[in-house]
Structure 1
Amino acid sequence: MGILSLKAAIKVKRYRSYRGEVGQTAPNVLQRDFKATRPNEKWVTDFTEFAVNGRKLYLSPVIDLFNNEVISYSLSERPVMNMVENMLDQAFKKLNEPPRESWRLNFLRKR
């Protein structure tokens, strides 16, 4: 190989983050219609990871699609359910509506 100036092509192994079964997928209620005609009509949330000064941080915001306002958010060093629960509690407190059945009860029933 050296005489013919040939080089071995080494295939780089790609990073794959998938490690097992995928959990339950939520139904696609919005059907990609991300426009709202009044406040609090449609809220969306996500969960993202990013690095700051070499440390991983996890952000989970709730955004109102009427004006793209961040209703509430939670920031943590670990991706735990408690982080999302706190974010949702903060968001629902801003609704100023009479208390209804807890979102936690509905969530746990569907599990």
Structure 2
Amino acid sequence: MSRRGNCLDNACMENFCGMLKTEWIQRRKFTTIDEAREAIEQYIHYYDYERCHLKTKLTPHEKRCQCA
């Protein structure tokens, strides 16, 4: 990790959390914490295995497999 105030280290996670909130969380109403956890787990699976990124036209899983 770098010095405090260097936002580039956190850019990927900030981007993911922003998309999670706008694409998944704000569109739903949760009655329990378990429902929210389940929805977040579903989004993580969707993000890694189904959602193609515009820049690479691949899912993150496909990109990792391609590099390995």
TM-score by length of 1: 0.25
Would you tell me which structure has more helix in proportion to its own residues?
2
Which is higher, the Rg of structure 1 or of structure 2? Answer: 1
Would you tell me which structure has more strand in proportion to its own residues?
1
